[in-house]
Amino acid sequence: MPLQDFAGRSVAGIVHAFTSGKAAARDIVEGVLARAERAKPFNPIATLDADGARAAADNLDARHKRGTEFGKLAAVPVSAKDLILTKGLRTAFASLTMKHNVPASDADAIAQWRAADAVLFAKTTTPEYGHKVLTDSRLHGVTRNPWNPDHTSGGSSGGAAVSIALGLGPIAMSTDGAGSGRIPAACCGVYGLKATLGRVPHEVPPDQFGQLTYLGVMARHPADLGAGLASMSRGHRDDPWSAAIGRTPFAWPSSGAADPIAGKRITVIRRMTGGYLDPEVEARLEAALAFLDTRGARITEMDGREVDWKLDVARIILRANQIERFGEILKTRRGDLDPSFARTLDEGDAIDVVALRRALTDRTLAYRSVQKLFGDADLLLTPTVATPAPLASQDQFAPLLVDGKPIGDLRAAWYTYTIPFNMTGHPAISIPFGQSKAGLPIGIHFVAPWYEEAGLIALAEAFDSETQASTLFPPGFAPGT
- For residue 390, pLDDT beyond 60: yes
Alpha-carbon 481 to chain mean position = 27
In three-state secondary structure terms, 265 is strand
Does 1 reside within a domain? no
Looking at residue 256, its pLDDT comes to: 67
> Any bridge partners for residue 268, and if so which?
301, 381
What average pLDDT does the segment 255-281 reach?
Answer: 93
- For residue 204, pLDDT beyond 70: yes
Confidence (pTM): 0.98
Looking at residue 105, its pLDDT comes to: 98
Q: In which band, very low, low, confident or very high, does the pLDDT at 3 lie, cut at 50, 70 and 90?
A: confident
Does 68 reside within a domain? yes
Looking at residue 244, its pLDDT comes to: 80
Looking at residue 255, its pLDDT comes to: 72
Report pLDDT digits (tens) over 125-140: 999 999 999 999 999 9
Q: What percent of the chain has pLDDT over 90?
A: 95
Measured between alpha carbons, how far is 213 from 194 in angstroms, rounded to an integer? 10
- For residue 2, pLDDT beyond 80: no
Does 480 reside within a domain? no
Total of domains in the chain:
1
- For residue 314, pLDDT beyond 90: yes
Does 252 reside within a domain? yes
Name the residue range of residue 435's domain: 11-471
What average pLDDT does the segment 195-215 reach?
Answer: 95
Does 479 reside within a domain? no
Report pLDDT digits (tens) over 328-365: 999 999 999 999 999 999 999 999 999 999 999 999 99
- For residue 427, give the CATH number of its domain: 3.90.1300.10
Contact 252, 258 (CB under 8 A): no
350 DSSP 8-state letter: T
Looking at residue 329, its pLDDT comes to: 97
In three-state secondary structure terms, 138 is coil
C-alpha dist (Å) from residue 140 to 42, 47, 70, 91: 11, 9, 35, 12
Does 6 reside within a domain? no
Looking at residue 4, its pLDDT comes to: 85
Does 278 reside within a domain? yes
Q: What percent of the chain has pLDDT over 70?
A: 99
Per DSSP bridges, beta strands 298-301 and 265-268 are parallel
Does 477 reside within a domain? no
Alpha helices in 116-258 (DSSP H): 158-165, 182-188, 222-230, 242-245
- For residue 325, pLDDT beyond 70: yes
Q: Which residues contact 109 (CB under 8 A, 6 or more apart)?
A: 84, 173, 200, 201, 202, 215, 232
Looking at residue 1, its pLDDT comes to: 38
